[in-house]
Amino acid sequence: MDFKKKKYSRRDILFGLRSNFKKRDSAGTSTGIGFQAKEIDTLMASGKFEKAVQELQKVLEKSPDHQQARKNLGYCLFKTDKLEEAASEFRSVLRSRTEDNFCLLYLGLILVKQGWTAEAISWWKGYFNPDQPLINRVLNLQISLYDMGSLGSGEEIEKSVETAIEEQKTRDGV
């Protein structure tokens, strides 16, 4: 038997991989998240959180265990001042991902807004993200102030944490 060795160029390999990724990321997947994720990201980036909530709820109807969609839904609900619903979504994620920094951060922020500072501090004690030192520093400061009994008002805490989030986003180029 004579087997001829088939030659592949780098271009053939890259286009083959690209084709496979496109197939996996199509709207025809079981959750349909591929196409919807791009649309949802665009809605969130442009500040259209109400519409993003609707789209995320559709995703979660198809795939209720989709944790990233649930986190995004919590964030969009937070941005539309639906704090109880947002807290519920973050808690849902934290039941399976106890160290999810994003959920810990925003759940604590929601609790501070609602006047539950002690509970917020207990959630923030689980936050550790060396990639976001500005947020880490502010949360550690708030925890220390709480432990010393000299914590500021809820509005001051909220403002300092939100400022740290914005400064971290600016620093990260987000």
Q: How far is residue 149's CA from residue 143's CA, in Å, rounded to a whole number? A: 10
Q: With a cut of 90, say whether residue 25 has pLDDT above it.
A: no
Task: Report yes or no on 10 lying in a domain.
Answer: no
Instruction: Kindly state whether residues 73 and 124 are assigned to the same domain.
Output: no
The rounded Cα 85 to chain-centroid distance in angstroms is 15
Q: How far is residue 157's CA from residue 46's CA, in Å, rounded to a whole number? A: 27
Residue 172's domain comprises: 99-174
At 31, the pLDDT band (50, 70, 90 cuts) reads very low
Task: Report yes or no on 73 lying in a domain.
Answer: yes
Q: With a cut of 80, say whether residue 85 has pLDDT above it.
A: yes
pLDDT at 170 (0 to 100): 94
User: Which of residues 23 and 60 earns the better pLDDT score?
Assistant: 60
Q: How far is residue 74's CA from residue 92's CA, in Å, rounded to a whole number? A: 10
DSSP state, residue 48: -
**Interval 117-137 mean pLDDT:** 96
Instruction: Kindly state whether residues 75 and 139 are assigned to the same domain.
Output: no
Q: With a cut of 50, say whether residue 148 has pLDDT above it.
A: yes
Q: How many domains does the chain have?
A: 2
**Interval 114-134 mean pLDDT:** 96
Nearest to 87 by CA among 99, 98, 103: 103
**Interval 9-25 mean pLDDT:** 56
The answer to whether residues 53 and 79 touch, using CB atoms and an 8 Å cutoff, is no
**Interval 40-47 mean pLDDT:** 91
pTM over 0.95: no
Q: How far is residue 103's CA from residue 75's CA, in Å, rounded to a whole number? A: 9
Among candidate residues 68, 98, 128, the one where a domain is terminated: 98
Name the token pair of 119: 């509970």
pLDDT at 36 (0 to 100): 75
At 28, the pLDDT band (50, 70, 90 cuts) reads very low
